[in-house]
A and B are shown apart, each in its own frame.
Chain A
């Protein structure tokens, strides 16, 4: 597969995503500068973590105007797989590709640590290799991961199984103490209504190798690759 990793000024997990796809999963990776206007030839797209535009004003607020974002919208509209991790998730929210907004962490601190998330929907292109309800240990590293949306939208997310990951205890209970940032309904990741766009705060690329002592995050990437292999042909290079 040919996976595009979008590079915004200030992205800093771009090399990490590249490393996982290229060196761990032996895929082709194209680094896509944010001024590109086309995504032709790509099978899937990752918006990596980092501090695009320094996170000034609001996280993701400025990056969403990068020229590449129109191409990403087109790509998503035509069914292409788009995944935003951390800052990438924040950008997808600001760009309206996913619903809701991020508030500052309840603690007001940046927090970097392992957390556990429960797979709430294992029938997405990004979680196919997981079992429903499976608990994954994946690190977070953010200051604004406190997901918010209004009650109507939240009910919609719940009803459409758009909540993909929830913060939980190691044994899979969704509790207040397991919530590292105050996120509504312990939401750690959501998908679009159509299902082909995913945003998640935890960093699966940080737990995708044996040497790092944790391979849980790798499931997300292998799920993605698997569903790309199985997709109907018409979507190629959309």
Chain B
């Protein structure tokens, strides 16, 4: 590059590269890079693609197990479910693009995660989405939420992949950094998994899908870049999705794969042609030659730099078996896709890019894909951490009007029904959805077998703020509990770790502790992590989001008809509470809603207790002893009971419950979020058997009430230290508040 030092500084800044990184590039090449090469390095070495701040820590996570068919490192992970099949799944963030343009940002996020799954040879059968927004009091946040939900719907519905579940939480910290994480699961034959590898020197490299335009150039670098007030300038980098094109791409891919034509395949996600080519070559220890002259283009005059960095959506790169080009091209044409042979696999390990007969870039593929910088960034707890956990119970008045408190907590958008969201998603297409959105986990049957898989996404960012280690362990426990309550055995996990700026020691501290928590909990439950994603730099004007390690967990149900739901099913059924309630108000939704505090220690979690509880719940569900099972977490016992009454699809049922206060506070008993608790309902004649079984297993259990009537009643008897209280409301009032709160808050304009 014929540039002077000042210009180089500018260039490096524009490309988010440090001077050390630049030196490393010069070392690798033995010369200075040209602009195209610099661009390629910058995207591949960005945080988003290279995991340079997280890699040393991610290595600690448990990724193996008897069921693991494919762990992290490929487009998605795969876990054996028997019958010769495996489930392929992954979760991915699209936070920054969704803040800039909510509809397209969310839509292309869904498009990207779908491609990750079907490039592995799996037909996608379910999507979930995990969302975080700021308070709905603000018009901007309402606009973001409407746009994001519409974008997810627009893409997923058109693809014919049902969005069967998800999570939406609200906290003002996400106002300038909403989170949009999408999870996708597909099913593949275990011996027909496709990988992104460019094996076989001489094999043709084929481009197919949409044409390349100038979309999202610098997108990958943008995702690794914190926002500031100039973010508007970066707007032209927004990509537009075309779900129809992706549907054709999906069908074409599955047809190509069924016909034994491919050696390897990878989608062009972040860093487009650059990442797909160098990663495939590097995995196989080969090189690749690309001739840009043949790349289908949407616009005239595109430079090699633009072609290599474009993030136009709905594109794929495949390495075909030599001699099978024509057949590949025929199938792509059948599906109306653009297709062209753009290169071949070489033996020299170099990614060589040619344009109009001229070599415009020549870089060792491995150095782009794998030899990016790695940082062991310093970490230390922030000075305010102790202030956060410090919660003086004595200074807080106990709840007086329990009716009013319950209604307020139910109307909190984090707790309220998400029907407004999931009714916009086609959650039934493919006719597999046995448990629709609205229960602890979604359950989808696997046609051709008797099996079903359950899926959930979970993370309480507030807990993670208060204690990143505990919060992450709690998220693992909750996700597993949600699956178990649905009758499923947890078999695998994907994560999407959303954090602030890793160059800040306090953020890095949050990250490192979260990883430790994730590791410890997964090892204890023996749940392997088979794929994942890290999203750093979720900060605006120096303000970071809460640490939000989102988890997507998958469980297996051997007999589909044993899938369980959370709502009460018959009047007269007995209500059983499993687990122990403590004074756990720290980080609770109740404290936030009623006292505007996000403070305290998150609930205590003992992994042995949790595991014993989950094993017990799964066993009694499988034995058919149980009519419903609901995880008790956000909003505490009162909210969980109310959900059991009003979340069922057709009818609402009342309940009469009596609770012992013991030495607890009233608010802690009703709204505290002690972990390791589950609410069951069952026919009255099986109660005794269940209670004695629970006693044998060492699980605290007791009958707390009966389903039925048209009122929601919780009678709290006087305790050792405190007066009792009573919740007594018409069940329709409880339902109305919970069912319509979100809609009402969104309906402002």
Residues on A lying within 8 angstroms of B by beta carbon are 9-10, 12-13, 15-16, 19-20, 23, 49-51, 53-56, 109-114, 139, 141, 143, 203, 205-206, 208-209, 211-213
Contacts and interface: CB of A to CB of B under 8 A. Distances in A.
A141 B426 contact: yes
B424 A112 contact: yes
Contacts of A19: 431, 447
B158 A55 contact: yes
A153 to B, nearest CB: 30
Contact of B158 (A16, A54, A111, A113): A54
Which of B335, B428, B445, B447 has most chain A Cβ within 10 Å? B428
Contacts of B422: 112
Contacts of B561: 211
Contact of B426 (A9, A10, A110): A110
A53 B245 CA distance: 9
B434 interface: yes
Interface in B189-236: none
B152 to A, nearest CB: 11
Q: What does DSSP make chain A's interface, helix, strand, loop or mixed?
A: mixed
A51 B431 contact: no
Contact of B160 (A13, A55, A203, A208): A13
Interface string B416-454: 000000111111111101100000000001010000000
Contacts of B58: none
24 contacts: A9-B247, A12-B247, A12-B429, A13-B160, A16-B431, A19-B431, A23-B447, A51-B247, A54-B242, A54-B245, A54-B247, A55-B158, A109-B150, A109-B153, A109-B423, A111-B423, A141-B428, A141-B429, A143-B157, A205-B431, A211-B434, A211-B445, A212-B434, A213-B434
Contacts of A208: 431
B393 interface: no
A52 to B, nearest CB: 9
A112 B247 CA distance: 20
A20 B422 CA distance: 25
A134 to B, nearest CB: 18
A125 to B, nearest CB: 23
Contact of B153 (A9, A15, A110, A212): A110
B429 A13 contact: yes
B257 interface: no
Nearest to B563: A211
A58 B649 CA distance: 33
B445 A15 contact: no
B243 interface: yes
A141 B425 CA distance: 8
Contacts of B427: 112
Given A19-B447, A211-B561, A212-B431, A112 B426 contact: yes
Nearest to A109: B424
Interface of B: 150, 153-154, 157-160, 242-245, 247-248, 335-336, 422-431, 433-434, 445, 447, 560-561, 649
Which of A9, A10, A110, A112 has most chain B Cβ within 10 Å? A112
Contacts of A212: 431, 433-434
Given A10-B244, A10-B247, A206-B428, A141 B157 contact: yes
Contact of A51 (B157, B423, B445): B157
Contacts of B248: 9-10
Which of B248, B431, B560 has most chain A Cβ within 10 Å? B431
Nearest to A17: B431
A94 to B, nearest CB: 17
Contact of B430 (A15, A20, A209): A15
B455 to A, nearest CB: 18
Closest 8 pairs (CB-CB, A-B): A12-B160, A54-B244, A51-B158, A141-B426, A16-B431, A112-B426, A206-B428, A110-B424
Contacts of B243: 51, 54
Contacts of A205: 431
Contacts of A54: 158, 242-245, 247
Contacts of B429: 12-13, 16, 49, 141, 206
B107 to A, nearest CB: 12
Nearest to A55: B158
A212 B422 CA distance: 18
A9 B244 contact: yes
A111 B297 CA distance: 36
Contacts of B431: 16, 19-20, 205-206, 208-209, 212
Contacts of A15: 430
Contacts of B153: 109-110
Given A19-B447, A51-B157, A114 B649 contact: yes
Contact of A111 (B154, B159, B247, B424): B424
Which of A12, A114, A209 has most chain B Cβ within 10 Å? A12
Nearest to A143: B157
B335 to A, nearest CB: 7
Contacts of B159: 12
A108 to B, nearest CB: 9
B430 to A, nearest CB: 6
Contacts of B336: 9
Nearest to A11: B160
Nearest to A52: B244
A203 B428 contact: yes
Contacts of B150: 109
B425 A112 contact: yes
A75 to B, nearest CB: 24
A53 B242 CA distance: 11
A54 B158 CA distance: 7
Which of A19, A113, A209 has most chain B Cβ within 10 Å? A113
Contacts of A209: 431
B425 to A, nearest CB: 6
Nearest to B245: A54
Contacts of B158: 10, 12, 51, 54-55
A212 to B, nearest CB: 7
A209 B447 CA distance: 13
Given A54-B242, A111-B423, 11 more contacts: A12-B158, A12-B429, A19-B447, A20-B431, A51-B247, A110-B153, A112-B424, A114-B649, A141-B429, A208-B431, A211-B560
Contacts of A139: 428
A141 B422 CA distance: 11
A161 B244 CA distance: 37
Contacts of B426: 110, 112, 141
B451 to A, nearest CB: 12
A139 B160 CA distance: 15
A107 to B, nearest CB: 9
Nearest to B162: A112
B160 A50 contact: yes
A12 B428 CA distance: 12
B485 to A, nearest CB: 18
A143 B422 CA distance: 14
A20 B157 CA distance: 21
Contacts of B434: 211-213
Contacts of B445: 211
B338 to A, nearest CB: 14
Contacts of A51: 157-158, 160, 243-244, 247
A53 B247 CA distance: 10
B108 to A, nearest CB: 15
B157 to A, nearest CB: 6
A16 B430 contact: yes
Contact of A56 (B244, B335, B425, B560): B244
Contacts of A143: 157
Given A9-B248, A141-B157, A112 B242 contact: no
A53 B244 contact: yes
Given A111-B423, A211-B434, A9 B335 contact: yes
A114 B423 CA distance: 10
Contact of B157 (A110, A114, A213): A110
A213 B741 CA distance: 28
A95 B649 CA distance: 37
A114 B335 CA distance: 33
